[in-house]
Amino acid sequence: MKSEALRHKSYSHYISALAVFDSLTLIGRQVSTVNEYYITQLKEPGLFSGFSYTLCKLYNFIEHTCYLMSSWLIVLMAVERVFAVCLPFKQCIIRKECGAIIAICALCLIVSLTQAFRFVMIGSINGACEAEDEFLILFTALEIYFYQVTLTFVIPAGIVLVCNSLVIHQIFHVIRKASHYNESRSTRYARVVNKRHKTSVMLLIVSFSFILTLLPLFILTIIIDISVKTKGSGAYQLYRKMLPFHELCVVISLLNYGVNFFIYILWGRSFRFELRKIFKRERTSSNIATRTKEEIIKL
């Protein structure tokens, strides 16, 4: 994506940033898994046992900021795609190289501010980086409802659905125009239908992969939280029964990162190539119609 041909494209910066933050998120997940293995299986102190209060605060902040950036970069790319498809001839700043860099930096700043509470509430508790007792209730509410529910899933998923619905609607609108112009030419019409299928599949995968991979974990988190509030001490038994399902949901959520790389890197150029040809066909048909109208007026 940083080749001479693509380094000045806005989507090149979005994809590169997505790759970086996805990689950092996966590294953080791996560190947490190793830490849990040390504690539960080896019965030894975890990886964070030697962390000071400051290191615990910093690590927790960086880990969750990277996770949020992975989610919100998909939102940023979805918004950029709306401008590219619905306003193809308008030079929006988000579609320029400098605009992409500014948007990524601004997003990182905003996401960092939303996680600033971790610097206050997180500390080194018995060799683990956890919330201090005086902030435990408030931190739990912020962690579940503000971070996991609102910022990680509900708002990003809503924006991605809306943006990709607009893109799909616009593409079908353009294809209908192109197919109407070429309906007398069966070969070209077949190619239009084939391109419609390709672009539709790509956008549907983009729309639903992010949501479907995170939805099970989102639902299970809500169920566990409600059971803790309603059943009290009896919720522990329910949590133990749901633990295998929770681990499965975590694995499913990790598939989101693989899908990101597959869609945006392997199919990104193909999608935009097909899209450019669709709009080129629309402009060609529009120019022919204009010339025909002018010739009729002259006659």
User: What pLDDT is recorded for position 56?
Assistant: 92
Residue range 57-71: average pLDDT? 93
Residue range 86-112: average pLDDT? 85
Q: Taking 90 as the threshold, does the pLDDT of residue 245 lie above it?
A: no
For the chain, give every domain's residue range: 10-287
Say if residues 67 and 32 touch (Cβ distance below 8 Å).
no
The dihedral built from the CA positions of residue 148, 151, 155 and 159, taken in this order, carries a sign that is negative
User: What pLDDT is recorded for position 204?
Assistant: 62
Say if residues 157 and 214 touch (Cβ distance below 8 Å).
yes
- Look up residue 92 and give its DSSP letter: -
Among 6, 16, 86, 21, residue whose Cα is nearest residue 257 = 21
Q: Any bridge partners for residue 122, and if so which?
A: 131
Residue range 200-213: average pLDDT? 69
User: What are 110-131's pLDDT values in tens digits?
Assistant: 999 999 999 999 988 888 888 9
Q: Taking 70 as the threshold, does the pLDDT of residue 20 lie above it?
A: yes
User: What pLDDT is recorded for position 48?
Assistant: 86
Greater pLDDT, 4 or 90: 90
* Rg value, the chain, Cα: 24
User: What pLDDT is recorded for position 273?
Assistant: 59
The dihedral built from the CA positions of residue 94, 95, 98 and 103, taken in this order, carries a sign that is positive
Q: How far apart are CA 41 and CA 248, in angstroms?
A: 19
User: What pLDDT is recorded for position 193?
Assistant: 46
In CATH, the architecture of 10-287 is Up-down Bundle (1.20)
Residue range 153-174: average pLDDT? 84
The dihedral built from the CA positions of residue 47, 52, 56 and 58, taken in this order, carries a sign that is negative
User: What pLDDT is recorded for position 196?
Assistant: 47
Distance of CA 285 to the CA centre of its chain: 36
User: What are 133-146's pLDDT values in tens digits?
Assistant: 899 889 988 998 89
User: What are 248-287's pLDDT values in tens digits?
Assistant: 888 888 887 767 666 655 555 555 555 566 556 555 555 5
Task: Report which residue type is found at 94.
Answer: I
Say if residues 40 and 124 touch (Cβ distance below 8 Å).
no
User: What pLDDT is recorded for position 269?
Assistant: 55
Greater pLDDT, 227 or 202: 227
The dihedral built from the CA positions of residue 47, 51, 55 and 58, taken in this order, carries a sign that is positive
User: What pLDDT is recorded for position 165?
Assistant: 85
Distances in Å between the alpha carbon of 30 and those of 182, 248, 274?
Answer: 53, 16, 38
Run of H or E residues at 164: helix 155-181
